[in-house]
Amino acid sequence: MNEFSQISKNFSSSEGKDLKLKALNGFKDILPGETELWRQVEDRARDVFARFNFAEIRLPILEKTELFARSIGETTDIVEKEMYTFIDKQITLRPEATASLLRAYIEHGLYVQKPVQRLFTVGPMFRHERPQQGRLRQFHQMDAEVLGSANPRVDAELMTMGSMLLAELGLNVSLELNSLGCPACRPAFRESLLSFLGSRQDALCEDCKRRSVTNPLRVLDCKNPNCRAIVADAPSIQEHLCPECATHFQAVQDGLDQLGIVYSLNKFMVRGLDYYCRTTFEFITADLGSQSAVCAGGRYDGLVEQLGGPKAPGIGFAMGMERLVLLLLQKEQKIEPPAEIDIFIAGLGGDASRLAFSLMQGLRKAGARVTMDLDARSLKSQMKQADKAGARHVLMIGEEELAKKAGMLRNMATQEQREIPFGDEGLRMLLEATAAGR
Ligand code: ATP
Ligand code: MG
């Protein structure tokens, strides 16, 4: 007996009777009602991305583990402890989209087709973290990346796109900006940070004691209040930028100013992925506790090359959809009801129900949204169902209607009723009523 049949045997055995199958911790169903809100968020994003000339790319959910280790960085939280990896196969459920997108960009030579590629992708990501509100193990991101340009205006434009989308969703967020410098200026900053941390080791939290050796920049964004108080006086990366990075950083700010995007500088924001250089940014909300970042991103100029591709600088952001939806729910944003039904056909009895079944198909083929009760319950029950479905019309077919060869169409808003003959003429009248109601 294999493992699976053992599990299912246990489940169906008597002691397993009370055992309810539930989704895994941190994995969530998105139910009808809420899916409408998700679609509104995604539709709005697609609309804004299109205005900024981004094209969609769809990527696999599984990748070689090596891709993430090489791009995100061996000593990051994600790679050290958050990845879902099938150890025997050396493959990993993607924890983020940038690495996969770059892999596809290189694999398909997308840089040959266009000097600058603007791409977006939407989908689930997987990280083994402690689930809480706004933090799941399967979560969803809308990810946008620009590859092939180091122009600081691209940075400003990308942040503007994020800002516009969040504003059009009606969300109140603030933009925080930093520059992490480049391989030319970061080592000197790292040294000065290390010597600052060196004398304060004892006061740091355990994680930061370890980080000050493996990844000292991460100490700057530790959430521990003690560590925060200590690093408040730490040297600022913004004051250690080489002339090229300083010019770039200034030009990014000029671009944002020109486009009217408000931001504040945050020298503590270092981001949890190794591949960032120069511009990093986060859109922050005050309404989700410690899950305050709704969108985060930055520049990663050496990464394409590091993954075996051409010299192509890049910048991108990822927006967390769960957090956007939570914010919209908090605002009691009116959720659009699901697509309304044009006609509910209430067939009473076997013959009427049979007729209704083919009429429904004719109407659906012609583009109408139609439903019926296939079990042909009582008229009262069917009227209730029509109401629940938000049906604009109910077409009643009972014995009398069968004899007359005409159904009775009721407009649910006005309660007006009129006869609709069976056959092509009736179908035309029904479609007319449908179109008029929309
Ligand atoms: P955090 O600091 O909240 O852990 P992060 O820096 O790990 O975020 P990124 O890797 O930059 O997050 O991902 C971009 C965005 O994706 C985040 O700003 C957030 O909105 C969302 N996100 C990240 N991890 C999760 C998660 N486990 N559940 C839900 N959303 C998430
Ligand atoms: Mg995280």
Cβ partners under 8 Å of residue 12, min gap 6: none
For residue 151, the CA-to-ligand 2 centroid distance in Å is: 28
| Continuous segment of H or E residues that includes residue 409 | strand 406-411
For the chain, give every domain's residue range: 35-185+241-331, 343-435
Collapsed DSSP state (helix, strand, coil) of residue 27: coil
Per-residue pLDDT of the chain (438 residues; tens, 9 = 90+): 455 555 555 555 545 556 789 999 999 999 998 999 999 999 999 999 999 999 999 999 999 999 999 999 988 889 999 999 999 999 999 999 999 999 999 999 999 999 999 999 999 999 999 999 999 999 999 999 999 999 999 999 999 999 999 999 999 999 999 999 999 999 999 999 988 988 888 888 998 888 888 888 889 988 888 898 989 989 999 999 999 999 999 999 999 999 999 999 999 998 877 789 999 999 999 999 989 999 999 999 999 999 999 999 999 999 999 999 999 999 875 655 556 899 999 999 999 999 999 999 999 999 999 999 999 999 999 999 999 999 999 999 999 999 999 999 999 999 999 999 999 999 999 999 988 877
What pLDDT is recorded for position 212?
Answer: 84
Output the CA–CA distances (angstroms, integers) from residue 405 to 63, 344, 398, 399, in the order listed: 61, 18, 10, 10
Q: Encoding tokens for residue 298?
A: 């930055």
Measured by CA distance, the residue closest to atom 25 of ligand 1 is 135
For residue 273, the ligand 1 atom closest to its alpha carbon is: 10
Sequence letter at residue 45: A
Residue 80 CA to its chain's centroid (Å): 24
Around ligand 1, the residues with Cβ closer than 6 Å are 96, 127, 129, 134-136, 139, 141, 272, 291, 293-296, 318, 320, 322-323
Q: DSSP labels for 249-298?
A: HHHHHHHHHHTT---EE-TT---S-TT-EEEEEEEE-SSSTT--EEEEEE
Count of helices and strands (H, E) across the chain: 17, 16
For residue 131, the ligand 1 atom closest to its alpha carbon is: 27
For residue 324, the ligand 1 atom closest to its alpha carbon is: 20
Collapsed DSSP state (helix, strand, coil) of residue 386: helix
For residue 224, the CA-to-ligand 2 centroid distance in Å is: 15
Measured by CA distance, the residue closest to atom 26 of ligand 1 is 135
What pLDDT is recorded for position 1?
Answer: 45
Cβ partners under 8 Å of residue 45, min gap 6: 120, 122, 142, 165, 319
Q: Select from 135, 171, 279 the residue to mutate for testing ligand 1; criterion: most ligand atoms less than 8 Å from CB.
A: 135
From the list 270, 263, 265, 327, the residue with the least C-alpha distance to 294 is: 327
For residue 344, the CA-to-ligand 2 centroid distance in Å is: 48
Q: Which residue has the tokens 């050496």?
A: 302
pTM of the model: 0.89
- Output DSSP code: residue 309: -
DSSP bridge pairs for 346:
396
User: Given phi > 0 = left and psi -120 to 50 = alpha, else beta, which region is 405?
Assistant: left
- CA–CA separation, 347 and 349 (whole Å): 6
Q: What's the CATH number of domain 343-435, 3.30.930.10, 3.30.390.10, 3.40.50.800, 3.20.20.70?
A: 3.40.50.800
For residue 166, the CA-to-ligand 2 centroid distance in Å is: 20
Q: Residue 224 CB: number of other CB atoms within 10 A?
A: 14
Structural class in CATH, domain 35-185+241-331: alpha beta
Q: Which residue has the tokens 């994003």?
A: 45
Q: Which ligand is nearest to the CA of 296?
A: 1
Q: Which residue has the tokens 């997108």?
A: 101
- Largest Cα–Cα distance in the chain? 96
What pLDDT is recorded for position 338?
Answer: 58
From the list 380, 372, 378, 369, the residue with the least C-alpha distance to 355 is: 372
- CA–CA separation, 192 and 194 (whole Å): 5
What are residue 17's phi and psi, to 5 degrees?
-60, -35
